[in-house]
Amino acid sequence: MTLRHLRIFLIVCETGSVTAAAKQLHMTQPPVSQVIRELEKYYGVRLFERFGRRIYLTKAGEELYSYASHILSLLAEAEKRLSDMSKSGILRVGASMTIGTAILPTIMKEFFAFHPTVQMHAVVDNTATIIKMLYVAKLDIGLVEGIGNWPDIVKVPVYDDELVLVCPPKHEWAGAKSIDAAQLEDQCFVIREEGSGTREVFEAATKAYGIKWKPVGVFNSTEAIINAVHCGLGLSFISPLAVQNAVATGKVAVVKVSGLDIKRKFNLVYHKNKFFTNVMKEFIAFCLEFFKQIRPDLASAPERNP
């Protein structure tokens, strides 16, 4: 017995005729009659009494009609409910620190303007933690920086970022047009914690250029690093998206470093076996369009009217 059997049975009941049911179903009469016979054989009862060209439900037929009506009604309700959830369900998004601080709040605000019924649960942590959460299905989608290659994780590049050197506003380099990369040798740096995409890119770049430096502080937030730099504890490399407000208020200064480019990608990431609902697909498309509009001197794209 299948849902198809029940649907055809209901149409026969409601039309009172196999011929009329076949016409409504755009079928020929024999397949409809076959379905009725299969139901009667399956349940071991007669469902219809046949008098001439008319058929009438038996007591057993009335019972099945009631059950079939409820079953198909519940199925329709489930389909509608799940369809609604796919359009306005819960979206679990993770972002690494730089993206989570400088960009994610604006993404959420603008996405909610277009999708007010969506519930978004956001997690901001370092790249390694976001990737781990994707592996155990605690997140649906991630937005991370870093150069890692993670098995079974799909990476979609969405933005080209470049780390800039920041120093205290009264530092000797604050007023310089640029410094040479060699001048970074043996300088004190305030850095991010292990697992951070920013730290990963910074360490890879300085190693590639043969620059040795001294760590004087490890912090797990961009704001803490900016405060540490402001207080004169050391220098740091930070995304311009994350440091622009501090630069605008004179809390820190940006220094151009000749001969040293620390570039990286922001990636939208998800597990390769992830099943995507409609709202997840819409969020990915939204992010791709959003990042196209970001300028290096801004922490958000121009807002769009819903």
pLDDT of residue 294: 78
Asked if 149 and 170 sit in the same domain, the reply is no
247 vs 89, residue with greater confidence: 247
Q: Is the pLDDT of residue 283 over 90?
A: yes
**CATH of residue 47:** 1.10.10.10
Q: pLDDT tens, 132-167? A: 999 988 999 999 987 778 999 999 999 999 999 999
Domain count, the chain: 3
Q: Residue 236: beta bridge partners?
A: 166
Q: Are 193 and 220 in contact (CB under 8 A)?
A: yes
Number of CB atoms found within 10 A of residue 270's CB: 18
Could you write out the DSSP letters of every residue in 215-278?
A: EEEEESSHHHHHHHHHTTS-BEEE-HHHHHHHHHTTSSEEE-EET--EEEEEEEEEETTPPPPH
Do the domain assignments include residue 298?
no
How far apart are the C-alpha atoms of 181 and 142, rounded to whole Å? 33
- DSSP letter for each residue of 141-160: EEEEES----TTEEEEEEEE
Write down the pLDDT at residue 149.
84
pLDDT over 60 (residue 297): no
Q: Both 204 and 250 in a single domain? A: yes
- In terms of domains, do 197 and 218 share one? yes
Q: Say how many C-beta atoms besides its own lie within 10 A of residue 206's C-beta.
A: 19
pLDDT at 85: 61
Q: Is residue 299 part of a domain?
A: no
Indicate whether 304 belongs to any domain.
Answer: no
Quick one: average pLDDT of 193-200? 90
CATH at residue 232: 3.40.190.290
Q: Residue 139 is part of a domain; what is its CATH number?
A: 3.40.190.10
Tell me, yes or no, whether 124 and 72 share the same domain. no
Residue 302 lies in a domain: no
Q: Is residue 116 part of a domain?
A: yes
Residue 296 has a pLDDT of 52
- Asked if 129 and 171 sit in the same domain, the reply is no
Query: Does any domain span residue 305?
Result: no
| pLDDT value, residue 27 | 92
| Local confidence band at 303 (pLDDT 50, 70, 90 cut-offs) | very low
Q: What helix, strand, coil percent values describe the chain, rounded to 5?
A: 45, 25, 30
More confident residue, 87 or 4: 4
User: 168: phi > 0 → left, psi -120 to 50 → alpha, else beta; which?
Assistant: beta
Task: Residue 273: give the domain boundaries.
Answer: 88-158+269-292
What is the model's pTM? 0.67
Looking at the predicted structure, is the pLDDT value of residue 299 above 50?
no
- Nearest of 235, 258, 219 to residue 165 by alpha carbon: 235
Q: Are 16 and 143 contained in the same domain?
A: no
Let me know if residue 301 belongs to a domain: no
